[in-house]
Amino acid sequence: MVVRFFLLFSHQLVSRIHLVILLLKLFLNKFCTQSNLLMKPLMLLLRLTIW
């Protein structure tokens, strides 16, 4: 019973996480297309600071 509940809960959690990731990707895509000129230098700067 407990295992069944846990499996169901974890499945719901995973599907919700997937949904959130999908929405984030969509939002980021829209955002990037609108401000692509601004984002490219920022991303380069980020990569440089990380490395």
pLDDT tens-digit series, residues 9-45? 888 888 898 888 888 888 877 765 666 666 677 777 7
Burial pattern 19-46, b for ≥16 Cβ within 10 A else e, equals eeeeeeeeeeeeeeeeeeeeeeeeeeee
Q: What is the DSSP letter of 30?
A: H
Domain boundaries, the chain: 2-50
Model confidence, pTM = 0.47
> Are 11 and 19 a contacting pair, CB within 8 Å?
no
> What pLDDT does 14 receive?
85
If DSSP codes are grouped into helix, strand and coil, which group holds residue 51?
coil
